Structure 1
Amino acid sequence: MTSTTKIANRFREVILNGTWIANTNFKAQLHDLDWETATTKYDSLNTIAVLAQHIHYYINGVKNVFKGGTLDIKDQLSFDFPPIQSQQEWDDFLQKFWNDAEEFASLVEQMPDEKLNEDFVNPKYGTYLRNIDGMIEHCYYHLGQISLIKKLLNNK
């Protein structure tokens, strides 16, 4: 198995289907969550919907580079989304999230292993490997927040 296949599968684990690290994943936490719960504010914490959109924002931004495009994402915009106002909007977002996550993983899988050690866009951002590993770690960080917020909301 190539290194890119291994790292693509690690990414799939946190978003789509794994239980090895956190005993859950984004899809398991979000697939049956209604839009009202997803958009409910708990104290000063971000909503589950905003955290999921935040991760999706970064997946799409990095995926664009993998497809030969430019890096257009900005940290200051990474929490700025129009509110989700219906179950249909939430369901549509989730489907896009799952599809984009799988496309991200597929693009990683298709990379030659040598690409992992190349500079990602600009040497100041490190290598492709550093950025993919960072994406996985970032996903686990926010997955933990989502899991906790979901528990807090269920105990209200």
Structure 2
Amino acid sequence: MSTVSQLFNSPAADVWRVLSDGWLYSGWVVGASRIRAVDDAWPRTGARLHHSVGAWPFVINDSSKVVNSEPNRLLELVARGWPMGEAKVVITLEDRGGQCQVTLVEDAIKGPGKLMPKFLRDAMIGVRNRETLRRLELMAAGGAGR
């Protein structure tokens, strides 16, 4: 699994506000181009977020599902983007007062992406997720989700 981590200059509660607003997902997740619907229960376990991936007009409509959620601490998803496949994504927040250590772990679990050699897959996911964390930090610092 590819793991990236970054220290944010925002408390965990501010980061969680962004994560818990499903309508903001395409603002911080690299590759997500738009949000089509968000279950009212988001981000509780079992809730779904309906998104599109890719650049218009070549977009794929699919969804992500919450597998586990602990407010201000953990969000675990199965992110789908068929025909590319599915990925397990785990985001953990470690509150450090006015700062938060955010760790993002991801790997392909189904589909063609799983066929790519692990060292290549991890490198590609890592580059994308470093940018994902940069975007998430900016949104948390800017007050998104309030």
| TM-score category, normalised to shorter length | 0.3 to 0.5
- Structure scoring higher RCO (CA < 8 A, sep ≥ 6) equals 1
TM-score (norm 2): 0.40
Q: Which has the higher strand share?
A: 2
User: Which has the greater radius of gyration?
Assistant: 1
Q: Which has the higher helix share?
A: 1
TM-score (norm 1): 0.38
